[in-house]
């Protein structure tokens, strides 16, 4: 599934069938207005994906790196947000210390698991999820942000409740962090 499809689902959740049609078929009466709405939805998608990954259901990546006692953050495939664990060649957990420019861990090959921030997406990209948060959660988060940005406050409140419930279900079923609920 592409980001564009999630954006179309979010537009439908907000009652904007015209924008959903534009995203799926490219048909619209006012092209410039539809393109502005597409840009807004994409911005909202990136905000929602970032919030889910950083606050609730982290994206994790494991990679094997060579260590001389120190592994620089620049050596990682993605910029790490939090180091979850370090394991040796046999799978045993290794003690490590987080430093300003990297992590200190014993010498040799080390499998480091860390969480990272998702990249900024375009409409043609694939979403980055960790299989805990599906397309529905992303669409609800995107729709909630879009409703807030568009001034649809009643819809935003309803969508926020549905989004928080979906996040709570995903966290409860599969583990994760759940922040306190509040309405801004």
Q: How does pLDDT run across 105-162, given as a tens digit for each residue? A: 999 999 999 999 999 999 999 998 767 778 999 999 999 999 999 999 999 999 999 9
Helix 135-149 to helix 3-13 angle (10° resolution) is 60
- Please tell me the predicted confidence (pLDDT) of residue 28: 86
Give the start-to-end residue ranges of the domains of the chain: 3-57+129-174, 60-116
Strand partners, 110: 65
Alpha helices in 76-126 (DSSP H): none
Q: Please, which residues have CB within 8 angstroms of residue 127's CB and are 6 or more apart in sequence?
A: 1, 2, 3, 6, 49, 121, 135, 138
Band the pLDDT of 173: cuts 50, 70, 90: low
Beta-strand runs (E) in 69-130? 70-72, 80-87, 97-98, 102-104, 108-116
Q: How does pLDDT run across 28-74, given as a tens digit for each residue? A: 888 999 999 999 999 999 999 999 999 988 999 999 999 899 999 99
- Please tell me the predicted confidence (pLDDT) of residue 35: 93
């Amino acid at each position: 599934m592409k980001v564009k499809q999630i954006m179309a689902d979010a537009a439908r959740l907000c009652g904007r069938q015209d924008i959903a049609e534009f995203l799926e078929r490219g048909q619209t009466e006012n092209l410039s207005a539809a393109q502005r709405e597409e840009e807004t939805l994409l911005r909202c998608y990136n905000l929602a994906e970032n919030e889910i990954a950083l606050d609730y259901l982290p994206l994790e990546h494991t990679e094997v790196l060579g260590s001389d006692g120190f592994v620089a953050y620049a050596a990682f495939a993605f910029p790490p947000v939090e180091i979850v664990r370090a394991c040796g060649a046999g799978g045993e957990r290794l003690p490590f210390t987080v430093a300003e420019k990297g992590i200190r861990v014993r010498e040799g090959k080390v499998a480091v698991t860390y969480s990272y921030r998702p990249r900024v997406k375009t409409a043609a990209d694939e979403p980055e999820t960790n299989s805990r948060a599906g397309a529905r959660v992303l669409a609800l988060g995107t729709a909630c942000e879009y409703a807030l940005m568009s001034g649809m406050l009643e819809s935003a409140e309803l969508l926020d409740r549905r989004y928080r419930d979906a996040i709570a279900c995903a966290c409860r079923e599969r583990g994760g962090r759940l922040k306190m609920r509040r309405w801004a």
